[in-house]
A = this chain, B = another copy of it.
Amino acid sequence: MTSSFYPPLRTLMGPGPSDVSPRVLSALARPTIGHLDPLFVDLMDQIKTLLQYAFQTDNELTLPVSAPGSAGMEACFVNLVTPGDTVIVCQNGVFGGRMKENVERCGATAVMVEDNWGEPVGIDKVAAAFDRHPEAKLLAFVHAETSTGVRSDVAALCALAASHGALSIVDAVTSLGGIELLVDAWGADAVYSGTQKCLSCIPGISPVTFSPRAVELIRNRKHKVQSWFLDMQLIMGYWGGSAKRAYHHTAPVNDLYALHEALLMLQEEGLEAAQQRHRRNHEGLVAGLEAMGLAMAVAPEYRLPQLNSVLIPEGVDDAAVRNALLREYDLEIGAGLGALAGKTWRIGLMGFASNERNVLYCLGALDAILARAGAAINSGKAVPAAREVFDRQAGAASA
């Protein structure tokens, strides 16, 4: 017989969802009100303002799409791409491939710029692609590749697109709230994110923002957006600034309570402070992993502090270790994806989950499991090494 579901209290250090703060869960469960209630409309306005802060943008068209990050991605493509367009798509992990699918399903041509998984998007290659394809209307790439843990240079890529008269579509699913993301200063035109990464909100919502240039392109489209649900011209009527909101779909009211609270927490902490916290905890984790004898998969200058790819030592059973972490420690870390499946683990330190306790707990658990499995590691070194980094950071901060 089916009965109520009571999940265990996991520590979520995979590629997302990340641990959700009790404040956010508490907001989530507040009584549902109508999606056209004047109080809800006020809340929508606040969410928009809080998102503008998180994205560092004045873009008027900034809102949460009522569906997961994949739908946010699709919202950017279906609104900006029309059949016959050429779109330059950078692939250095899983999500570039998904962008290609999106472009092709819009009846457009994707010109792929490929880089090795674990490396950033090559600016020179993108420049060469623009030279070969002057007709390209859009450039699409991932800021923080969740599948590999690599950061690419948004500012340089957006500038390159602009210099060729193209607009940019930026996947910021894993970057928003965790590392610097300056939508306006960098000139990004369409940016989508997710709630379940560095915002530490529940999964299911996708914040997006569109520049005035992107909005102009959408307004001047001749070809109807192929998705009714994701048509920004219609969604603007509901989320737009006008006094009279046009009903489009029923907003996910409770999820938006949660998003509001998560964004409020980000604003209270401050974007820069949150980014520094992500960096500090990353430093502790890396020190611990390296003290244990493990090697990071990504070069230091491109590493994401919120998603740490570490190479699985020779002879260690990937799945057995992850399963033991989950079963014995209620601790989730991520498997490698695609080209990196079986080769890396992905240890997330995202949002609320980016804290010293999680770093130390994870290092202790991983050490214990690897030592038991007879892996060639320096057992007992990881936790002290991280502790030392944290102490040094605290000393520097109070000095």
CB distance from A26 to the nearest CB of B (A): 7
- Across the interface, which residues of B come within 8 angstroms of A255, CB to CB? 202, 204, 252, 255
User: Is the pair A10, B27 in contact by a Cβ cutoff of 8 Å?
Assistant: no
- Across the interface, which residues of B come within 8 angstroms of A2, CB to CB? 46, 49-50, 264, 267
State which of B10, B33, B204, B252 has its C-beta within 8 Å of the C-beta of A34: B10
A66 touching B5 in the complex, CB below 8 Å, given contacts A17-B250, A229-B74, A332-B34: no
* Residue among A6, A73, A196, A260 with most chain B CB within 10 A: A196
**Does A142 reach chain B (CB closer than 8 Å)?**
no
- Across the interface, which residues of B come within 8 angstroms of A216, CB to CB? none
State which of B8, B35, B50 has its C-beta within 8 Å of the C-beta of A203: B35
| A199-228 near B? 1/0 per residue, CB < 8 Å | 000111000000000000000000011111
Q: Which A residues between 238 and 255 are near B, CB-CB below 8 angstroms?
A: 247-255
How many A residues have CB within 8 A of the partner chain?
78
**Does A290 reach chain B (CB closer than 8 Å)?**
no
User: Is the pair A254, B98 in contact by a Cβ cutoff of 8 Å?
Assistant: no
User: Is the pair B28, A250 in contact by a Cβ cutoff of 8 Å?
Assistant: no
User: Is the pair A5, B71 in contact by a Cβ cutoff of 8 Å?
Assistant: no
A102 CA to B227 CA, complexed, in Å: 8
- Across the interface, which residues of B come within 8 angstroms of A332, CB to CB? 33-34, 37
**Does A70 reach chain B (CB closer than 8 Å)?**
yes
**Does A68 reach chain B (CB closer than 8 Å)?**
yes
A contact set with B: CB distance below 8 Å: 2-10, 12, 14, 16-17, 19-20, 23, 25-35, 37-40, 43, 46, 49-50, 66-71, 73-74, 98, 101-102, 104-106, 194, 196, 202-204, 224-229, 247-255, 257-258, 260-261, 264, 267, 326, 332, 337
Closest 7 A/B residue pairs (Cβ): A204-B252, A29-B29, A67-B67, A70-B249, A202-B254, A203-B250, A25-B29
